[in-house]
Amino acid sequence: MNINIKNILIERTTNPKDASKLYNILQSLLFTPDNYRNQKKSKLEKLSMEGFIIGNHSKVDLEEMIQTPKNYIFVAKDKQIESIAGNIIGYSLILRTDEIIKEVQHYADQVDFTSTKAKKKIDEGNFIYLIQITIKKGYSNQGIGSKIMNFASKKIDIPIISFVMKSPLRNEISINFHLKNGFQHFGDYFGEYEGFPNYRSAGFIHFPKK
């Protein structure tokens, strides 16, 4: 679906009713260990280039994220869509609870760092964590994700940390997205995640503009 990027509104949501809309987008793009084991090679190659998300969250989880003041949940809305149920076409989950800070610091124990600056920020807990960013099917590759990140970077004044799957399936489009939008690769995580075999992810950091 072709869109006019000028008609896309980005805003921070605090409305828990938006959780169901985010959940529907999440489920349509979720990639699981079962998907990996059962998909044909050609389908996996297509997913690598089209993008996918990992990390399943319930509607209750999303409601809690939205209502937690420390978090930044941004949504992209198509102003040309009048339906309240369908106007959210993308979102990002950027979290800063004590729990998520400790979880990322735990990840860091299994990261092969190439950036001491990024390691210091994580060790200090001086960061916020981009856990997911995704665009509804049919709306991708039209600059909406970049518009979300540009908006987020103006609202957030501390480094943003993110991890993107490299193995067992390389999320090529997400890696390119991060590099295009000002993130720097700081190392690779080697460890367990959600039961994926031979899991590995690339760590990225986005420093606030001065």
Give the model's pLDDT for residue 85: 47
Helix, strand or coil, per DSSP, at residue 75: strand
Other C-beta atoms closer than 10 Å to the C-beta of 121 total 18
Q: How many domains does the chain have?
A: 1
Mean pLDDT of 5-20: 94
Give the model's pLDDT for residue 3: 79
Kindly give, in sequence order, each residue whose CB lies less than 8 Å from that of residue 5, ignoring residues fewer than 6 positions away: 142, 143, 144, 147
Give, rounded to a whole angstrom, the gap between the first and last alpha carbons of the chain: 36
Q: 3-state SS of the chain: helix, strand, coil percent to 5?
A: 40, 25, 35
- In order of 79, 118, 151, the CA distances from 203 in angstroms are 34, 10, 21
Is the four-CA dihedral 66, 17, 88, 36 of positive or negative sign?
positive
Residue with tokens 């084991």: 37
Mean pLDDT of 26-51: 94
What range does the domain containing 199 cover? 5-206
Predicted confidence (pLDDT) per residue in 103-162, tens digit? 999 999 999 999 999 999 999 999 999 999 999 988 988 999 999 999 999 999 999 999
Give the model's pLDDT for residue 188: 98
Question: Rounded CA gap, 132 and 53, in Å?
Answer: 7
Give the model's pLDDT for residue 195: 94
pTM of the predicted structure, to 2 decimals? 0.94
Residue 45 has pLDDT above 90, yes or no: yes
The DSSP output letter for 39 is: S
Give the model's pLDDT for residue 10: 96
- Alpha helices (H) in 58-115, listed in sequence order: 59-67, 98-108
Q: Which of 21-25, 84-88, 111-115 has the weakest average pLDDT?
A: 84-88
Q: Which of 136-140, 164-168, 188-192 has the weakest average pLDDT?
A: 136-140
Give the model's pLDDT for residue 138: 87
CATH of the domain at 145: 3.40.630.30
Mean pLDDT of 179-203: 96
pLDDT band for 83, please (50, 70, 90 cuts): low
